[in-house]
Amino acid sequence: MENGIEKGHKMTYTTLTKYSFINVLEHTISYLKKKGVAYADIRLEESVSEGVMVRDGEIDRLWDNLDTGFGIRVLFKGAWGFAASSLLTETESRKAADEALLQAKAVGSLKQKKVSIDKNLPVRFKHKSPCHVDPFIIPVEERLYPILKATSLHKNCRQYKKIHSIEGFMDFQKRHKTFLNTEGSFIEQEIFLSGAGIKVIAIDGRDVQVRSFPDSHNGIFRQGGYERIIEMDIPNNAPRAIEDALLLLKADECPSGERTVILGGSQVALQIHESIGHAVELDRAMGMEVSLAGGTFLTSDSIGTRICSDIINITADPAIEVGAGSYIYDDEGMEAKKVEIIKNGRFKNFLTSRETAKSSGMKPNGSVRASNWSNIPLIRMSNINLEPGEGRLNDLIADTRDGILLQTNKSWSIDTLRLNFQFGTEIGWEIKKGRITRALKNPVYFGITPQFWKSCNAVCDREEWQMYGLNNCGKGDPIQNISVGHGAVPARFSKVKAGAVKC
Amino acid sequence: MLGNDRLMELLRKLVREGEGCGAGQSEVLYVGSHNSTTRFANSIVMQNIKESNRTIYFRVLLDKKLGVTSTNSLHIEDLRKCMKKAIEIARQSKPLKFFDGFPMPYKYQEMKTHYPETTDLTISDKVKVLEHIFKKTNFAIHNPRSAIKIGGAFSTSEAEIGIVNSNSLIAYQPFTSAHLSLITSSSSGSGFASQFERNAKNIDIDRLLSISIKKCRTKKKRRLKPGRYKVILEPIAVNEIMEWLIYISFGASVFIDGTSFMAGNIGKKIMSKKLTIYDDGSDISGFPVPFDFEGVKKRRLDIIKNGEATSLAYDTILAKKCRKKTTGHALTPDNIEGPFPTNVFIKEGDFTIDEMVSMVDRGIMVTRFHYVNGLLDTKTASMTGMTRDGTFYIEDGEIKYPIEDMRFTASILNAFSKIEVISKGRQTFPSPYSIVGTHIIPALLIKDFNFSDS
């Protein structure tokens, strides 16, 4: 076997290391400038990741992955082209540049509105997200200890005989991204992402109940190293999840009706994600994602209008250190900025790209990312956060005469305009006269986005504020899954339709 | 594309190197793909994406201890590093007491899965197709105030899969696919149509456009009260439900963890006698695939036979764990949720969709759903989702008018027990769990289906 494995007619293929390939990409940028492009950028990405699933104290799946490649985006005579390859060769780089140009020329031949973007100043920047304990150098058994321990707690315990299984998940990723463009920018960013969680499955006949810790859908993801896993303290929190799952088997169904609902922090994070975060993406508002992800109920005329109660303040903040969606520069070379999304209940800003901002008379706010080298950058949420209010969760419960506390997302569904939603949670807690009286199973709640957020009458304080994160937010075609963060606190809503699943 | 000879030479060499480095058994899987997608919206081409990727997965088995790694770097040092990492992971892992080795060799069925007509399609060809679509959409406007905007995606891809293991298993197959989806929107509504083919030449652009325009150019939408209605789910809508059924119940993993509605029900009637759901990669009348991602030969697997829960999809590891035989449904080793069926069929019925409409006194026809979620209660397959891109009220056997989108919340076990008619025609969709898998799905007429309060 030779150094590179693909050989072609009149072409020399030599696979290069990431470092030597950067010189090739600089030449490619010069080449594209000579070809007269209005703009071009290149992202070279290398991602090392490890994923693990354990079940009942034993490893079920474990894999380690190295993923490398580059993508070239070209704007030529008002049309975009994008080509990407995993082969780091000089020939492949030229081929991708030519392919992206060819695409732009082909589309440019159509009689359609031409794309333009404003110029940006060149940026030279290097960033490495904090990683205090490198997960990749910890031996497998030691690294997996928290989830191996937590998922074996039920074994050989008579009182846990209805715990059918406990699954555990752990994921680590180190992504190094080099960005260069025809404006002279050269930006290097290295980001560590770590996440873990457990899922307890209790079964009694046909009743299946699930409790997760620290969150559902494989846990919480945050930037940082193994210290993020240690912070979760999964083994010591697992018994509570087991007890809750068993409690749910005996619990009553959540009664139906219109009532006061307190959402736990992680469910508020999901509510923000689905009904606010996606709704404020400008490409959706412009109809650009209509075929798959859909549109949004917001238009440019919505700016300044009230869509939440006046105690709601929501920001997009890509610069938070632990956020799963944090970065310093986005994938168009724009500096990440904290952006006000909702201010005192009123809609303030969309998340924008250079293209959508220019065509809408707005400003780009550094909200564009691609899930990896092979994908075109799109408008994506970074960390969309609910700013804290006043009081602790216990105060909120004590202040609630008749309501339910809903915790940990189980199911999620929302329409194409991000209006009509139905979300389910793993557990509900009945609140009577300021006290939790019993657990409730299979709760769902539903509503229409602005009415729901306008009914919010309490938001907990900074002591309750936590950064949640998921690694599978999907958008685009081909679908791009990306990590997104949400800072959230428990919040209370009035006159919410809730109940158990009724089919 | 590397091609059979070059790829097999590489994979054999890597297997030998793995054995030389101390792996008891090794398996090398190659998945190469070249995808090209053109996206359009508001009757404008807005994105072009062309990407080439090649991933090599290593699985090594050392004293029953398994190590799995992958890389898309074809640099020899990265490949060797990756292989050694797999051996290192295996050494550090606990033994899988039940697992004794990778699959033995098979003789695979010959099948045509690669069409040059698809790979030859250039960006200029695609732009011409879209120009034609945009022009035809403009001509379709009779009233300037009811302008139609068109969006969607036109993608073509080429893939090759190669597998070699220490048991002398050798497998190779190239594939192509083409997929066109169209969404039309006007002031009165929206419509959708799509077609998936191995040969791009088979895509009937004008037919898709006609279906999609017809759905969006209708009368003003009315609001219908939530409740239980007789419903016709078109194949796209059924496929969205099928994707969730596969995820929550048809794979061995969810059967083992007890959340599948198949658990405790094998051999029992759980759906309508009219319904047969099976998986068959070997069916050359469909979109065949000769082997799974560990080289096990594809054959028919009945999942639901005449309404009875029959079997599940297994890969080699979970089959051994459950003392079963693999059914040939291994996914790529980085998938933690599978195995899943990836060549799924619902057995066809006898009627056209028009005939099905004529059988409905009062009901709803659903083109497509949005954001279906099947995790409400997996034991009853309770799901929720919104209708989109063409929901219609049917009365006295005729489509009367379009209706506002509605939310359904339904137990699919219950709904699929009340299937009255299955369409003869079926549509093909790409599988979300395998780059070469497909679902071949008919329309269903269901006696009652719950549209819930929003």
Task: Please tell me whether residues A191 and A288 are part of one structural domain.
Answer: no
pLDDT per residue as tens digits for the range B387-422: 999 999 999 999 999 999 999 999 999 999 999 999
pLDDT per residue as tens digits for the range A250-286: 999 999 999 999 999 999 999 999 999 999 999 999 9
On whether any CB of chain B is under 8 Å from the CB of A304, the answer is: no
Total domain count for chain A? 2
Given a cut of 70, is residue B141 above it in pLDDT? no
Instruction: Judge whether A178 lies within some domain.
Output: yes
On whether any CB of chain B is under 8 Å from the CB of A123, the answer is: no
Q: Which residues of A touch B319 (CB under 8 A)?
A: none
Q: Which residues of B touch A206 (CB under 8 A)?
A: 264, 379-380
On whether any CB of chain B is under 8 Å from the CB of A3, the answer is: yes
From residue A219, alpha-carbon distances to A145, A326, B146, B325, B422 in Å are 16, 18, 48, 33, 41
Say if residues B89 and A65 touch (Cβ distance below 8 Å): no
On whether any CB of chain B is under 8 Å from the CB of A86, the answer is: yes
Task: Please tell me whether residues A470 and A410 are part of one structural domain.
Answer: yes
Say if residues A69 and A86 touch (Cβ distance below 8 Å): yes
**For B2, nearest residue in chain A (alpha carbons):** A6
Task: Please tell me whether residues A205 and A305 are part of one structural domain.
Answer: no
Given a cut of 90, is residue B331 above it in pLDDT? yes
ipTM attached to this prediction: 0.94
CATH number of the domain that residue A34 is part of? 3.30.2290.10
Residue of B62, B88, B334, B371 to mutate for A, most A C-beta atoms under 10 A: B371
From residue B380, alpha-carbon distances to A207, A208, B374 in Å are 10, 10, 10
- DSSP tag of A136: G
Given a cut of 70, is residue B140 above it in pLDDT? no
User: Cβ of B130 and A375 within 8 Å?
Assistant: no
Whether a cis peptide bond, with omega within 30° of 0, leads into B339 is: yes
Task: Please tell me whether residues A446 and A300 are part of one structural domain.
Answer: yes
Task: Please tell me whether residues A94 and A135 are part of one structural domain.
Answer: yes
Mean of per-residue pLDDT scores for chain B: 94
Instruction: Judge whether A7 lies within some domain.
Output: no
Instruction: Judge whether A8 lies within some domain.
Output: no
Predicted TM-score (pTM) of the model is 0.95
Task: Please tell me whether residues A199 and A299 are part of one structural domain.
Answer: no
Task: Please tell me whether residues A80 and A204 are part of one structural domain.
Answer: yes
- DSSP tag of A383: B
Cβ atoms within 10 A of the Cβ of A159, count? 10
Whether a cis peptide bond, with omega within 30° of 0, leads into A214 is: yes
- DSSP tag of B314: -
Q: Which residues of B touch A210 (CB under 8 A)?
A: 259
Q: Which residues of A touch B73 (CB under 8 A)?
A: 15, 66, 68, 86, 88
User: Cβ of B51 and A59 within 8 Å?
Assistant: no
CA-based torsion, A347, A353, A358, A360: positive or negative: negative
pLDDT per residue as tens digits for the range A348-383: 999 999 999 999 999 999 999 999 999 999 999 999
The reported pLDDT for the residue numbered A392 is: 97
CATH numbers and ranges of domains, chain B: 1-7+17-218 (3.30.2290.10), 227-452 (no CATH)
Q: How far is residue A416's CA from residue A420's CA, in Å, rounded to a whole number?
A: 9
Instruction: Collect the ranges in chain A with pLDDT lower than 50.
Output: 1-13
Whole domain around residue A29: which residue ranges? 18-250
- Residues in B 163-222 with any Cβ partner in A closer than 8 A: 181, 183, 185
Residues in chain A: 503
Residue of A64, A144, A354 to mutate for B, most B C-beta atoms under 10 A: A64
The reported pLDDT for the residue numbered A2 is: 37
Pairs of CB atoms within 8 A across A/B? 257
Q: Which residues of B touch A80 (CB under 8 A)?
A: 46-48
On whether any CB of chain A is under 8 Å from the CB of B428, the answer is: no
Q: Give the least confident one: B79-93, B193-207, B242-256, B371-385.
A: B79-93
User: Cβ of A140 and B380 within 8 Å?
Assistant: no
The reported pLDDT for the residue numbered B147 is: 83
Given a cut of 80, is residue B144 above it in pLDDT? no
The reported pLDDT for the residue numbered B454 is: 58
Distance from CA of B195 to the nearest CA of A (A): 14
Residues facing residue A404 across a β-bridge: A261, A430
Task: Please tell me whether residues A438 and A296 are part of one structural domain.
Answer: yes
From residue B216, alpha-carbon distances to B153, B187, B371, B389 in Å are 18, 9, 20, 7
pLDDT per residue as tens digits for the range A474-493: 999 999 999 999 999 999 99
